[in-house]
């Protein structure tokens, strides 16, 4: 049904679409090629939500008549009035004769109706050319439109012996520069970066994009913090939130080089977080808005820990505490009733409860309450909320507890696993916390989507079987 040229033209349309990889959020990445016979006369791609779609860009770029031409589009042309008018109208008015598209638009406002409109106008319409490639390119958009949930990609880095850090917590720079630069590209393309309070406390990450040539909006930053124990001075609350930017942040010294950038971008981030919940629109060069998910029954946090200083507590324990925060102290399993937890339980006055909320809100941080199930944040509820906030792809950069929780609740769509050629020894920290298995048959299985070398490190992309 499709010719060799059709395939070539669609390959080019996909390459064009990929140019919007880091900028189209929350829209899909779409490319379009216009050809007269076997000659390409127009090319375009969708760059940014609110700006023209790929078809319009391709039609505009044509330097010769397009009547009677074929349009190759990586996604079914839209038929609705969104931020821009319907592409099917533009194609019909241009008197395009044939439209070949790779995959149906899963958006219920478009799905099937775009193709119908073109057929009704007398065009030849063919679908399904390089459908897999086009689906992959918009894997998050596809999932969100179909299920209302984002694509969950969990990034992990480990040694050859499956350890992520030394027993004393030292973990920075396990992987090399090339692998770390690659992680920045995955941050750049995602709609949101998600972590747990354990990682905030232990590593104090910024969760922003610091990638060369990045032109997109900074992704939403998501912190899962059942009991609101995140220090208000954490870097994640410092850049891109609150008009004060880094100035109002206790741990300002630690914000380092990014402080200036984050500070400058602060107003935009705050507005987005406060108004529409942070899946904010508009370019923000420093850092994205922040949303903290807390248990609906969140206990008052410990004021002593709201200091901006990362404690030296065991990361796994802290990450575990993040998810078990709503468990009343006397019901907590002893393994999780760390010193830190016991201390936290001492200051349960309502005043304590209000202060950090106000402090976080004052920084433009949005706090979302979700149900907690037996003390664990309801992760499907978190993801559903992110879907409502138009998050297509969420990159999880967290500790072994949250990664394990996502796996055991079958919410992981993809693992991005970097393997560094080092041995850390059996005392090091494990990759993910999972319940003990009794039979090898119960082992968690994955299929290898691809493997790529970055310097001396290896990146595996794995999808649960
Ligand atoms: C196309 N070509 O290049 C893209 C499409 O708000 P709007 O107007 O930008 O519409 C966004 C929706 O349009 C999006 O959810 C998806 O269904 C479709 N995207 N369609 O024909 C494009 N980006
Ligand atoms: Zn369109």
Tell me the pLDDT tens digit for each residue of 335-388.
232 222 222 333 333 334 444 778 888 889 999 999 987 768 999 999 999 999
Least confident of 98-102, 267-271, 302-306, 413-417: 267-271
> What are the residues facing 366 on neighbouring strands?
291
Tell me the pLDDT tens digit for each residue of 231-273.
999 999 984 433 333 322 223 222 223 332 233 333 233 333 3
Q: Is pLDDT larger for residue 150 or for residue 169?
A: 150
Q: Is pLDDT larger for residue 362 or for residue 152?
A: 152
Angstrom CA distances, 30 to 45, 103, 141, 237, stand at 6, 11, 11, 34
Q: Which of 419, 197, 222, 162 is nearest to 315 (CA)?
A: 197
For range 199-220, the mean pLDDT: 94
Note the ligand closest to the C-alpha atom of 71.
1
Query: What DSSP line would sit under 245-295, residue for residue?
Result: GGGG-TTHHHHTTHHHHHHHHHHHHHHHHHHSTT---S--SS---EEEEEE
Answer for the pair 392, 145: CB distance below 8 angstroms, yes or no.
no
328 vs 419: CA distance, rounded Å: 38
Q: How far is the CA of 137 from the centre of ligand 2 (A)?
A: 17
Q: Which residues line ligand 1 (CB under 6 A)?
A: 27-28, 30, 46, 49, 53-55, 75, 77-78, 82-84, 87, 105, 107, 110
**Residue nearest atom 13 of ligand 1, based on CA coordinates:** 78
Atom of ligand 1 nearest to the CA of 85: 8
Q: How far is the CA of 392 from the centre of ligand 1 (A)?
A: 14
> Does the predicted model carry a pTM greater than 0.85?
no
Handedness of CA 141, 147, 149, 151 (dihedral sign): negative
Residue 373 has a pLDDT of 78
Answer for the pair 98, 122: CB distance below 8 angstroms, yes or no.
no
Answer for the pair 294, 372: CB distance below 8 angstroms, yes or no.
no
pLDDT at 277 over 90: no
Q: How far is the CA of 455 from the centre of ligand 2 (A)?
A: 40
Atom of ligand 1 nearest to the CA of 110: 17
Structure tokens at 42: 């127009």
Q: Which of 142, 116, 119, 104 is nearest to 28 (CA)?
A: 142
Q: Classify 69 as helix, strand or coil.
A: coil
Residue list, CB under 5 A from ion ligand 2: 53, 78, 87
Query: What DSSP line would sit under 356-399, residue for residue?
Result: HHHHHHHTT-EEEEE-EETTEE-HHHHHHHHHHTT--EEEE---
pLDDT at 204 over 70: yes
Atom of ligand 1 nearest to the CA of 76: 21
246 vs 341: CA distance, rounded Å: 29
Computed over every residue of the chain, the mean pLDDT equals 81
Note the ligand closest to the C-alpha atom of 107.
1
Residue 11 has a pLDDT of 98
For range 272-297, the mean pLDDT: 62
Q: How far is the CA of 77 from the centre of ligand 2 (A)?
A: 5
Note the ligand closest to the C-alpha atom of 53.
1
Catalytic residue among 22, 43, 55, 397, which?
55
Q: Which of 22, 25, 58 is nearest to 41 (CA)?
A: 58
What's 37's DSSP letter? T
130 vs 404: CA distance, rounded Å: 35
Q: Is pLDDT larger for residue 204 or for residue 308?
A: 204
Q: Classify 178 as helix, strand or coil.
A: helix
Answer for the pair 394, 154: CB distance below 8 angstroms, yes or no.
no
**Bridging pattern class, strands 163-165 and 366-370:** unpaired
Residue 343 has a pLDDT of 27
Structure tokens at 136: 């992959």
Q: How far is the CA of 32 from the centre of ligand 2 (A)?
A: 11
**Residue nearest atom 2 of ligand 1, based on CA coordinates:** 53
Answer for the pair 278, 25: CB distance below 8 angstroms, yes or no.
no
Residue 298 has a pLDDT of 58
23 vs 8: CA distance, rounded Å: 25
Answer for the pair 70, 100: CB distance below 8 angstroms, yes or no.
yes
**Residue nearest atom 21 of ligand 1, based on CA coordinates:** 77
Note the ligand closest to the C-alpha atom of 26.
1
Atom of ligand 1 nearest to the CA of 26: 15
Residue 177 has, within 13 A of its CA and on its CB side, a CA count of 0
Tell me the pLDDT tens digit for each residue of 408-436.
999 999 999 999 999 999 999 999 999 99
Answer for the pair 224, 293: CB distance below 8 angstroms, yes or no.
yes
Radius of gyration of the chain (CA): 24
Q: How far is the CA of 152 from the centre of ligand 1 (A)?
A: 22
Q: Which residue has the tokens 């030849």?
A: 124
Atom of ligand 1 nearest to the CA of 53: 3
For range 118-146, the mean pLDDT: 98
pLDDT at 98 over 70: yes
For range 143-148, the mean pLDDT: 98
Residue 239 has a pLDDT of 45
Q: How far is the CA of 114 from the centre of ligand 2 (A)?
A: 9
Q: Which stretch of DSSP H or E encloses residue 119?
A: helix 113-120
Reported as a pLDDT band with limits 50, 70 and 90, residue 452 is: very high
Is 55 one of the catalytic residues?
yes
Mutating to test ligand 1, I would choose from 16, 28, 116 the residue with most ligand atoms within 8 A of its C-beta, which is 28
178 vs 183: CA distance, rounded Å: 9
pLDDT at 142 over 50: yes
């Amino acid at each position: 049904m499709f010719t060799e040229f059709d395939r070539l033209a669609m390959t080019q349309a996909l390459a064009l679409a990929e140019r919007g990889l880091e900028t189209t959020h929350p829209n899909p990445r779409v490319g379009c090629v216009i050809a007269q016979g076997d000659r390409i006369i127009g090319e375009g791609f969708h760059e940014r939500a609110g700006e023209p779609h790929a078809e319009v860009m391709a039609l505009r770029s044509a330097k010769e008549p397009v009547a009677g031409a074929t349009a190759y589009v990586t996604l079914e042309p839209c038929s609705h009035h969104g931020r821009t008018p319907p592409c099917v109208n533009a194609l019909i008015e241009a008197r395009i004769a044939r439209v070949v598209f790779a995959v149906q638009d899963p958006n219920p406002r478009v799905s099937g109706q775009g193709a119908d409109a073109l057929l009704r106008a007398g065009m030849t319409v063919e679908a399904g050319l390089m459908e897999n490639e086009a689906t992959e390119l918009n894997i998050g958009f596809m999932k969100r439109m179909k299920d209302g949930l984002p694509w969950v990609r969990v990034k992990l880095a480990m040694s050859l012996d499956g350890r992520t850090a030394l027993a004393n917590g030292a973990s920075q720079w396990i992987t090399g520069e090339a692998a770390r630069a690659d992680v920045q590209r995955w941050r750049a393309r995602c709609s949101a970066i998600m972590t747990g309070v354990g990682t905030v406390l232990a590593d104090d990450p910024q969760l922003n994009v610091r990638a060369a040539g990045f032109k997109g909006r900074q992704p939403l930053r998501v912190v899962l913090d059942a009991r609101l124990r995140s220090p208000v001075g954490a870097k994640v609350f410092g850049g891109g939130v609150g008009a004060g930017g880094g100035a109002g942040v206790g741990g300002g010294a630690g914000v380092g080089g990014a402080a200036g950038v984050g500070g400058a971008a602060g107003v935009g981030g705050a507005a987005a977080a406060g108004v529409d919940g942070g899946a904010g629109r508009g370019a923000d060069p420093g850092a994205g808005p922040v949303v903290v998910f807390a248990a609906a029954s969140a206990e008052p946090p410990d004021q002593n820990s709201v200091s901006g200083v990362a404690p030296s507590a065991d990361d796994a324990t802290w990450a575990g505490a993040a998810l078990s925060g709503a468990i009343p102290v006397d019901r907590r399993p002893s393994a999780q009733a760390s010193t830190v937890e016991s201390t936290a339980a001492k200051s349960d006055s309502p005043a304590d409860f209000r202060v950090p909320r106000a402090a976080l809100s004052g920084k433009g941080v949005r706090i979302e309450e979700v149900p907690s199930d037996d003390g664990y944040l309801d992760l499907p509820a978190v993801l559903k909320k992110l879907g409502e906030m138009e998050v297509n792809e969420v990159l999880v950069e967290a500790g072994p507890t949250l990664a394990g929780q996502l796996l055991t609740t079958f919410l992981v769509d993809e693992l991005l696993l970097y393997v560094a050629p080092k041995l850390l020894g059996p005392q090091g920290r494990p990759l993910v916390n999972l319940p003990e298995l009794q039979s090898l048959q119960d082992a968690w299985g994955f299929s290898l989507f691809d493997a790529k070398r970055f310097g001396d490190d290896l990146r595996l992309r794995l999808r649960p079987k």
